[in-house]
Structure 1
């Protein structure tokens, strides 16, 4: 299976329910993954070794795997340690995504991507800036994602829309481009491909029912308040 060819011009569904919510169980996540594939997803993004183990036997599409950790001395959360890489490799990841920002973490981003490549797995750099992507490609990542744009201290701007300008900038670098982060409508997903993305990842709009429900609830409440004036 040529993993990147299978993902090209495709949709990745991030099956990451709200942490600690009623859907945050490996068996439910596996069902989410199967449903996403049935709906046409070209790939999946799965968090956690146990969740990956639950999903892997049921799907043949590429899986982008991560581990999220809240550590005391760093803001880096996505696959911050070499031990995380080892666990994801053993559980059957096709691609491992990691935080590719220049922030400090237990194991350097260089060591992380080297370990991913040494294991024969594809590395995906979750970037926040153009500079992050340049460094990641130079260090051996094959995928560059806009995942962290707007989610770091350097890039936080309060926007609720995806950073299509960063997608356009990434398209000049030559790597495989994953548009990710706040792509919560079909129109935004289409715009990402038109801006030069090779693939698009959608998460909350599809697999975080609490979030998607709240968007509709806010709209309904807003309409009710307007009518009450």
Structure 2
């Protein structure tokens, strides 16, 4: 069974944590991933070579790997360079996820995807924010497209994810698997994504984002209650 078939209509869990979180230890990320797989996740999405290596030893489902890198001269940050992709592949990722938006980047997108295919032998998941960037990514050779960056780029930041309209447009206009990622906050929303034609659904914060979820609860309690807040 190939990777694309393995993830069909399934739940992919993104197991990540902020760098300053106690949860960011590789063994804890690996435990999150193993728990997700034991409960039915068809794949996991993992950031950094160290975490990918730990997760690879814990699970046997496909790993979508990436490496977030903040570069001073470029806004793209998800696996922006071939060297980042190579490290992710060596660590054990089965699919390489990268920023495929139209923003400026250190290496041309088409060259990056070609090298990942030719030199690493890995398929590419293009994280996009619009139909236009998705079309360009497919022309450049992307194997999968994810709605990951909708709501997180300059041109989409005014609208919170998920965009059901964008998902529907991608399904209609592209002939590669479309993964719905970003803003999925309930099983009902995940089911809606599949019903709209998503190949699979990626959920992160709502399942594994303890840090962000706690911050949101605390902030909401501080700003929306009449009583003095006592943590």
Q: Give the TM-score normalised by the residue count of structure 1.
A: 0.93
User: How far apart in 2 are the matches of 1:132 and 1:158?
Assistant: 17
Runs of 4 or more above 3 Å deviation: 214-224
Is the 1:52–1:91 contact (alpha carbons within 8 Å) kept by the matching residues of 2?
yes
User: How far apart in 2 are the matches of 1:201 and 1:90?
Assistant: 23
User: How far apart in 2 are the matches of 1:44 and 1:202?
Assistant: 9
Give how far 1:64 is off: 0.2
CA RMSD of aligned residues (A): 1.6
> Where in structure 2 are the equivalents of 1:102-113 lying within 5 Å?
102-113=102-113
Secondary structure of the residue aligned to 1:73 is coil
In the alignment, does 2:146 pair up with 1:135? no
Give how far 1:214 is off: 3.4
User: How far apart in 2 are the matches of 1:224 and 1:67?
Assistant: 39
User: How far apart in 2 are the matches of 1:102 and 1:158?
Assistant: 18
User: How far apart in 2 are the matches of 1:19 and 1:190?
Assistant: 31
Against the structure 1 CA distance between its residues 220 and 187, is the aligned structure 2 distance closer, same or farther, given a 3 Å change threshold?
A: farther
Against the structure 1 CA distance between its residues 57 and 75, is the aligned structure 2 distance closer, same or farther, given a 3 Å change threshold?
A: same
Secondary structure of the residue aligned to 2:142 is coil
Structure 1: which 5+ residue stretches go unaligned?
none
Is the 2:77–2:99 contact (alpha carbons within 8 Å) kept by the matching residues of 1?
yes
Give the aligned partner of residue 36 of structure 2: 36
User: How far apart in 1 are the matches of 2:188 and 2:226?
Assistant: 28
Structure 2: which 5+ residue stretches go unaligned?
none
Give the aligned partner of residue 77 of structure 1: 77
Is the 2:109–2:140 contact (alpha carbons within 8 Å) kept by the matching residues of 1?
no
Is the 1:98–1:112 contact (alpha carbons within 8 Å) kept by the matching residues of 2?
no
Deviation string, structure 1 residues 59-109 (Cα, Å, up to 9, x no partner): 111100000011100111000111011111111211001110121221121
Q: Give the TM-score normalised by the residue count of structure 2.
A: 0.92
Give the aligned partner of residue 207 of structure 2: 206
Secondary structure of the residue aligned to 1:171 is helix
Give the aligned partner of residue 194 of structure 1: 195
User: How far apart in 1 are the matches of 2:36 and 2:26?
Assistant: 15
Give the aligned partner of residue 27 of structure 1: 27
Secondary structure of the residue aligned to 2:103 is coil
Give the aligned partner of residue 184 of structure 2: 183
Is the 2:144–2:176 contact (alpha carbons within 8 Å) kept by the matching residues of 1?
yes
Give how far 1:213 is off: 2.4
